[in-house]
Amino acid sequence: MAADGEEQDQQTEWNQEGYQWLRRMQSRLEDVLLGKPDTVRLAMTALLAGGHLLLEDVPGVGKTVLARAFAKAVGGQFGRIQFTSDLQPADVTGGSVWDNVQRDFVYRPGPVMNHVVLADELNRTTPRTQSALLEAMEERSVTVDGTTRLLPEPFMLIATQNPLRDEGTFPLPEAQLDRFMMRLSIGYPAAADEIRMLEHRSSTGTIGSIKSLMSPEQWLELQRQAQQVHVDRSLLAYVVDIAAATRTAPQLSLGASPRASRDWVRAAQAAACMEGRGYAVPDDFKGTAVPVLSHRLVMKPQHEANGWEQASILEQMIQEFPLPRKMPTGTWRVQ
């Protein structure tokens, strides 16, 4: 058995290698989604934390491009579901079909049985079909005809949706929104970045140039390592205080769930990994608060009509609850 010092050196060396993988992937994705480094970093943070990602924005700003680029970079099996109003749950999960050779019904996997699944325009299908993803998102399995089948590991769902004011959209239920670790918006690019994008797309630098940087097993190991990042107890108490405050806020009819608290901690741990640290700091929680929590909060109609927004309420709470400044000791940082 290795001595404690040797184990610590080995762990530090592995983390340095993982950090370099993350840096390379972030650089590749930023080459595809030009001018949006913060969006790329947060998207990677959510997926590194083992969560699912919801990209909400107007059409044509790069939601699908980001999802496809990440799937190519991480390798593994990729499935895409184009959600429409006539899509059925079996089109997502798969179903039993008659096999003339076996003279029996056999299961035919649906597109959800992949490592990375792009649920494109999720809110264009009916709530019945949307709910087909609930078990997959939380339990990493699907149940068809009474038989439960595990999804491949790692399993990551990247969903896109258009703004709810668009014609032909259905709002996602709160139970499904709560299963997304983060909701992000991309926004329009700056003029200089849009010019670069036009030059980029007219040359050889397309999404097809993205190559796999690691195997799904390597990404799964990175996810496991992210969950080992040290979080000081004072930061956990801070998470609980903010979650409790959302549940009693007069502007909100629904606050953050315990799942939201768990996801916030995991997102902060992954954010620390993205910075090359084996310990979380207050800024990791501050930087992930709005993407992780805001889409889970439900405004009361009267306050929403008065212009209140979930993000502004969270930011106000962060101002009211000072972040702890205590730092852990005995943890590594990549130089």
pLDDT interval class at 330 (50, 70, 90)? very low
State which amino acid sits at residue 206.
T
Over its C-alpha atoms, the chain yields an Rg (Å, rounded) of 21
- State percent of the chain over pLDDT 90: 57
Q: Which range, of 37-41, 158-162, 196-200, averages the lowest pLDDT? A: 196-200
pTM of the model: 0.87
Residues 119 and 133: beta-carbon distance below 8 Å:
yes
Contact (Cβ atoms closer than 8 angstroms) between residue 133 and residue 94: no
Give one DSSP letter per residue of 213-264, joined into a string.
-S-HHHHHHHHHHHTTSB--HHHHHHHHHHHHHHHH-TTEEE---HHHHHHH
Q: How far apart are CA 196 and CA 331, in angstroms?
A: 41
Q: How far apart are CA 290 and CA 161, in angstroms?
A: 18
Counted residue by residue, the chain has a size of 335
Please tell me which residue, 7 or 217, carries the higher pLDDT value.
Answer: 217
pLDDT band at 329 (very low <50, low <70, confident <90, very high): very low
- Residue 102 has a pLDDT of 77
**Lookup: tokens for 76:** 């593994």
CA distance 282 to 120: 34
pLDDT attached to residue 279: 92
What digits encode the pLDDT tens for the residues 260-297? 999 999 999 999 999 999 999 999 999 999 999 999 99
The β-bridge partners of 106 are 97
Do β-strands 104-109 and 252-254 pair in parallel, antiparallel, or remain unpaired?
A: unpaired
pLDDT digits (tens, 9 = 90+) for 64-108: 888 888 988 888 888 999 999 999 999 999 988 887 887 788 889
Exposed e or buried b per residue across 178-200, where buried means at least 16 C-beta atoms within 10 angstroms of its C-beta: bbbbbbbebeebeeeeeeebeee
Q: Mean of the per-residue pLDDT values for the chain?
A: 86
pLDDT digit string (tens) for 234-261? Answer: 999 999 999 999 999 999 999 999 999 9
| Ordered structural domains, the chain, with CATH | 14-214 (3.40.50.300), 227-335 (1.10.8.80)
- DSSP sequence for 151-200: PPSS-EEEEEE--TTSTT--PPPHHHHTT-SEEE---PPPHHHHHHHHHH
Q: Which helix (H) or strand (E) holds 48?
A: helix 37-48
